[in-house]
Amino acid sequence: MLDDFELTPEASTVHINIFAERYSKLLGIARALTNNDQGQAVDIVHDALIKFVRYSPDLHKINNLDGYLRALLCNLFKAHKRRVSVRSKCELPIENHDLIESVLPGIADRCCDPNFLLQMQDVLRIICEYACFRKERLKLGSVLILRFFHGYHTSEIALIMGVTSSAVSHQLKLAQAEVCLYLEDPKHFNFYHEITAVRGRYKLNYGSLADDLVEELRRAIFQSSSCRECFLHSNLCKLYEGRRRKEIDCKTLAHIVSCASCLETASAFLGLDLLSERYPADMLSRLVKGENTS
């Protein structure tokens, strides 16, 4: 079905939004296909999301979009059943929806294999580099940083951004979908050359094993700010005072997530745990185990 469509020059935001609007319904269909196997159902839905966005079919040629997506799920479910070979232990989980969540726990669990460990660390460096660049243009980059590199819960991110938790969850879905596409083929995106042009700013140690990867990634995030001097710290109280706060704009949010002082101040003002008290690997481990982190 997808072979009839050619790869578009960049991921389609329209296709991502269309899929996101139907996410819950599609997950229900996937559960029915898998006899309520939640893990397999989620895998199938996110495989479908990646394929739908990657191939970006012409929506005007699809008479029944819901039927099209249902057929896509069914085809992917059949493909899952036919899959008999086990992936190499060093193959990276690029197409899985829980890519980011799996990376840090995977490092801890399989550190006996230095080649695998190095691969996994470099994947996280790529994701961090992507998020640092993307946050200046779209809020999903900042959301990605807050959730997975700074270790903030969805409800906490909502407070920082001045939006609802459901809005944050929506941003995370979009971010994870785009990250998977970016890992699969970075040159598929028209901003790839812009990222490589500023790569030196982040000072990520590709090809080297880090004793404390979280520290390296956070340092890169704090070096990624487009502002040399903090212009916001003294005005944070004005941003967060009152019950009806305005939603934080993209540029301001990008600064907050890449300025340790501002993020600490905002966290303290909102009554949240400070950045210095958070370690993302702990939260990610709970996510993989299915524990509530909201």
For residue 40, pLDDT beyond 60? yes
pLDDT at position 95 over 80 = no
Q: Which domains are delineated in the chain?
A: 2-82 (1.10.1740), 99-288 (no CATH)
Residue 220 clears pLDDT 90, i.e. is over it: yes
Q: State yes or no: pLDDT of 80 exceeds 70.
A: no
> Does the pLDDT of residue 289 top 60, yes or no?
no
User: What's the pLDDT at 105?
Assistant: 45
pLDDT level of residue 161 (50, 70, 90 thresholds): very high
Q: How confident is the model at residue 5 (pLDDT cuts 50, 70, 90)?
A: very low
Question: Is residue 294 over pLDDT 50?
Answer: no
| Model confidence at 9: pLDDT above 80 | no
Mean pLDDT of 65-84: 79
Per-position DSSP letters for the chain, written without gaps between them: -GGGSPPPSS--HHHHHHHHHTHHHHHHHHHHHTTS-HHHHHHHHHHHHHHHHHH---GGG-S-HHHHHHHHHHHHHHHHHH--SPPPTT---TTSTTHHHHHHHHHHHTTT-HHHHHHHHHHHHHHHHHHHHHTTT-HHHHHHIIIIIS---HHHHHHHHTS-HHHHHHHHHHHHHHHHHHHH-GGGSTTHHHHHHTHHHH---TTS--SSHHHHHHHHHHH--S-SS-SSGGGHHHHH-SSSPPPPPHHHHHHHHT-HHHHHHHHHHTTPPPGGG--HHHHHHHHHTT----
pLDDT number for residue 17: 83
Q: Average model confidence (pLDDT) for the chain?
A: 76
Q: Residue 160: is its pLDDT beyond 80?
A: yes
Task: Report which of 229, 227, 219, 223 is spatially closest to residue 275, judged by C-alpha positions.
Answer: 219
Pick 211 or 95 by higher pLDDT: 211
pLDDT band per the 50, 70, 90 thresholds, residue 182 = confident
Question: Please, which residues have CB within 8 angstroms of residue 45's CB and are 6 or more apart in sequence?
Answer: 23, 26, 27, 30, 73, 97
- Check whether 98 has a pLDDT greater than 50: no
pLDDT confidence of 265, banded at 50, 70, 90?
confident
For 143-163, what is the mean pLDDT?
92
**Residue 57 — pLDDT band, cuts 50, 70, 90?**
confident
d(CA 61, CA 260) in angstroms, rounded, equals 49
Kindly tell me if the per-residue pLDDT of 116 is higher than 80.
Answer: no
Q: Report pLDDT for 86.
A: 31
**Are the beta carbons of 149 and 280 closer than 8 angstroms?**
yes
**Most confident segment among 82-91, 92-101, 273-282, 285-294:** 273-282
pLDDT band at residue 130 under the 50/70/90 scheme = very high
pLDDT, average across residues 56-66:
86
Split at pLDDT 50, 70, 90, the class of 81 is: low
Asked if the model's pLDDT at residue 16 lies above 70, the reply is yes
Residue 246 has pLDDT above 70, yes or no: yes
